[in-house]
Amino acid sequence: MLSTESLTCPWCLAPISLVIDASAGDQSYIEDCEVCCQPMLVHVRMSGEELLSVEAERDE
């Protein structure tokens, strides 16, 4: 199950969209911002099949 989530880049503060694979459950991974190309640490939290939260922070 794929979901598109809107976030703000923690580096350049631009609005971005991330495609989340919710079937993978809770996950943390690194993805580059589509605007400034800086690395973000993305945290996905699930409850069963329900997407609870998607957060991005700077990966320094």
Say yes or no to pLDDT of 4 above 90: yes
pLDDT higher than 90, residue 22: no
Average pLDDT over residues 33-41: 97
Whole-number Cα distances in Å, 32 to 18, 44, 46, 47, 48: 10, 16, 22, 26, 27
| Domain residue limits, the chain | 2-58
Residue 47 makes CB contacts below 8 A (sequence gap 6+) with none
Query: Is 5 a residue whose pLDDT tops 90?
Result: yes
Of 58, 46, 45, 52, give the one whose Cα is nearest residue 11: 58
pLDDT at 1: 84
Whole-model pTM: value is: 0.89
Q: What is the pLDDT of residue 49?
A: 85
Map tokens 């976030």 to a residue. 7
**pLDDT exceeds cutoff 90 at 30:** yes
